[in-house]
Amino acid sequence: MTLSQEQVKQFWDNGYLVLPDFADEETVEGLKKECHRLVEEMDPAEHNTVFTTLEMKRTSDDYFMTSGDKIRYFFEDGNLKVNKHLSINKIGHALHVLSEPFKKFTFCDKQPGIGGEVIPHQDSSFLHTDPMKLVGFWIALEDATLENGCLWFIPGSHKEGIHCGRRMLRNPNKGEGESGTIFQGEMPKYNDKDFIPGPATANSRNAVPSLIFVIGTKH
């Protein structure tokens, strides 16, 4: 897949790019099946950790901070009230290495009624490098619509840098019982009127997944 000059310009101007028809239906079904298998074989008692962008509510910071080379599971709520398949917030962070279907998809030639609020934020608050060199990828395995909560963006907001300097950092003074991560900087304030939606289609007879490049997002 080759991006047109217009697509490249939109990405750098707006900070995101939606690519419809990015993967075929068979591939998407395979990834969804793999997610189901992983969760089915996972014991919630061994992976009882909550992930939220609002504040640190994890029951085990080490579980999160050492997940870079492991497949780990993060829930909406530490006390499961519904089926574990409906309680998962995210699966991370080494799916692309340790899961063969995701590895094949990542390194090939192309690339529920519960849960808390995901506040407006920039992903660079969590994925920060110096110099900045990371780009996020969101792949729609199901239709992401205005009705069910697609991503929303402020076009061009990435050019303003990390808003209010808010970043998630390792806690340099972590003591017993204290969080292993802290937020530095003020909570950003956004004007809801500045956001525009980025709906993305998933698998159907006439529509296959969209890929969204992300620099700054509201979920």
Render pLDDT for 17-33 as a digit per residue (tens, 0 to 9).
998 888 888 999 999 99
Q: Please report the pLDDT score of residue 81 as a whole number.
A: 76
CB 201 within 8 A of CB 22: no
d(C-alpha 20, C-alpha 116), whole Å: 29
Q: Where does the pLDDT of residue 217 fall: very low under 50, low under 70, confident under 90, or very high at 90 and above?
A: very low
d(C-alpha 134, C-alpha 147), whole Å: 30
- Reference 136, options 116, 105, 109, 111; nearest CA is 111
d(C-alpha 103, C-alpha 27), whole Å: 12
In this structure, what are the phi and psi dihedrals at residue 101, rounded to the nearest 5 degrees? Answer: -60, -40
Residue ranges of domains in the chain, CATH in brackets: 1-23+112-219 (2.60.120.620), 24-109 (no CATH)
Parallel/antiparallel/unpaired status of strands 136-139 and 181-184: unpaired
Owner of token pair 């939109």: 10
Owner of token pair 């660079």: 124
> Please, which residues have CB within 8 angstroms of residue 43's CB and are 6 or more apart in sequence?
none
58-103 pLDDT tens trace: 445 677 888 889 898 888 766 777 888 888 888 888 999 999 999 9
Lowest mean pLDDT among 48-52, 121-125, 150-154: 48-52
| First vs last C-alpha separation in the chain | 27
> Please, which residues have CB within 8 angstroms of residue 64's CB and are 6 or more apart in sequence?
49, 51, 58, 72, 74, 180, 181
